[in-house]
Amino acid sequence: MRYVIYLLMSLFSLTSLNSLAAQEVLTLDEVIISVLENNPELKVNDFEAKAAAAKIRAAQQTPPVNLNLEFENFGGSGTRQGTDALESTLSLSKVFELGDKAELRGGVAQQNTALVKNKQDARRLDILSEAARHFIHVVVDQHRLEIAKDKLKLAHKTYKVINKRVRAGRSPVAERRRGSIALARAEIELEHAEHELASSKVKLTSLWGSTDADFSIAKADLFGLVQVDEFSELEKLLILNPDLVRFATIQRLAEAKLNLAKAKQSANIVLSAGIRNYQVTDDNAFVLSATIPFGLNSRAAPFIEAENYQLQKEPFNYEKQRLALYSSLFEVYQELKHAYTAVNVLRDKIIPEAKQALRDYEKGYAAGRYSLLELSDAQQLLLDAQLESVMVAANYHKFKIEIDRLTGARRSAGVQQ
């Protein structure tokens, strides 16, 4: 599953990289590269992979050769007092494993290592998805800051009109106070939007181990949406989901454990050979011994039965996970379609109508046909629609990221530069 390293880099159709230092512009490409190179958790994964490889070598080792030194018939009584009747034996012994146990242990370790890599791939994909979502959050906060600036401009503009009407005696002084309050609130909201943007930048850069958000702009076209694929096409890609891919490794691991359990039916023979010295006659003689256990079939049977049950349950676990992923994919797909439709309606119909309505109310208020409350409602209607379009567009991209995470596929749509 090496494709996950590049998954989110091809998830979005982006132009060539810009120089962050020179232009102070951050692109999604740069985010993904920085996370892959510097994320602390991904660095930990490298060491875990090396440790898993070392465990394979350890599992494949055969039992060592033992050096045995044995003394008999000394320190007793009568003719065996002291060391007069001492017999000493120096021998080498080794356990010879039958049934390819070392190779089978190595097979289990290899599948465990593959499982570790599968989990790391899935986690890598999660981290890259998280990075993309944080990048979108920064882009959203940039839009929210612009909307807050627009609101402050409207508040200034409205206050000037109110002040002009008050001086002309066409509006009460109370309206000027209301305008002043609205202006102060707009200033507070602008300051809050600035703080929110600063915080989201730091959250993003922390994913690659940096606390310095040394960029000015996160560059992306939030409203560059693409037509939603058919669900049937996405469903076919579910088999690429990291969790389902991991089940194939789990299945192979269960098979390896079953084979190792069956190997316990084969005896391990302990051979020992050496030389014995007789102190009384100063003679030497070779010694040889062998140890062969019996009753291994019955002893191995419970282990074989347990591993066989473990193997049989995995297809059901796979199906359970597949159904859960299918359900999640379908739900996110419906939300994606809704977001796509909502953004288009907001951008093509609601916002243009709200802008025209505001222009009408501004003219009408200046002419005395509408009240300040009606003008304020028209302003808020436009601002709310603009903010809603930003949030719905952001949701579209977040749903798109989640679909790509669920399918584990390399996609070609998302935030455009």
Q: How far apart are CA 137 and CA 398, in angstroms?
A: 10
Q: Residue 245: pLDDT band by 50, 70, 90 thresholds?
A: confident
What pLDDT score does 410 carry?
Answer: 53
What integer pLDDT is reported at residue 361 of this predicted model?
94
Q: In what order do the strands lie in the sheet with 66-72?
A: 66-72, 87-97, 268-278, 283-291
Write down the pLDDT at residue 13. 37
Higher pLDDT, 312 or 9: 312
Span 205-221, mean pLDDT? 89
**Residue boundaries of the structural domains of the chain:** 3-407
Given a cut of 90, whether residue 24 has pLDDT beyond it is no
What tokens does 225 get? 């949406």
- For 22-26, 299-303, 322-326, 369-373, which range has the lowest pLDDT when averaged over its residues? 22-26
**Does pLDDT of 405 surpass 50?**
yes
**Average pLDDT over every residue of 3-23:** 38
Instruction: Quickly state the pLDDT bin for 409 (edges 50, 70, 90).
Output: low
**Cα(91)–Cα(69) distance, rounded to whole angstroms?**
7
Judged against a pLDDT cut of 50, whether residue 19 lies above it is answered with no
Residue 12 has pLDDT above 80, yes or no: no
Phi, psi of 160 (to 5 degrees): -65, -40
- Match domain 3-407 to its CATH number in 1.10.3720.10, 3.40.630.40, 1.20.1600.10, 1.20.1250.20: 1.20.1600.10
* Closest CA relative to residue 228, chosen from 77, 341, 81: 341
How does pLDDT run across 161-191, given as a tens digit for each residue? 999 989 988 889 999 999 999 999 999 999 9
Q: Express each pLDDT in 270-285 by its tens digit.
A: 899 989 888 878 888 8
Place of tokens 């993904």: 32
Backbone dihedral angles phi then psi of residue 39, each to the nearest 5 degrees: -65, 125
C-alpha closest to that of 368 among 155, 164, 156? 164
Task: With 0.75 as the threshold, say if the pTM is over it.
Answer: yes
Is the model more confident about 8 or about 98? 98
Residue 52 has pLDDT above 90, yes or no: no
The tally of CA atoms less than 13 A away on the side-chain side of residue 197 is 21
Taking the C-alpha atoms of residue 27 and residue 75, their distance in angstroms, rounded to an integer, is: 84
| Mean of all residue pLDDT scores within the chain | 86
Cα 51 to Cα 57, 110, 116, 118, 311: the distances in Å are 10, 12, 10, 15, 26
pLDDT value at residue 291: 87
Residue range 234-243, pLDDT digits in tens: 998 888 888 8
The rounded Cα 285 to chain-centroid distance in angstroms is 67
Out of 9-23, 159-173, 361-375, which region has the weakest mean confidence (pLDDT)?
A: 9-23
User: What's the pLDDT at 22?
Assistant: 37
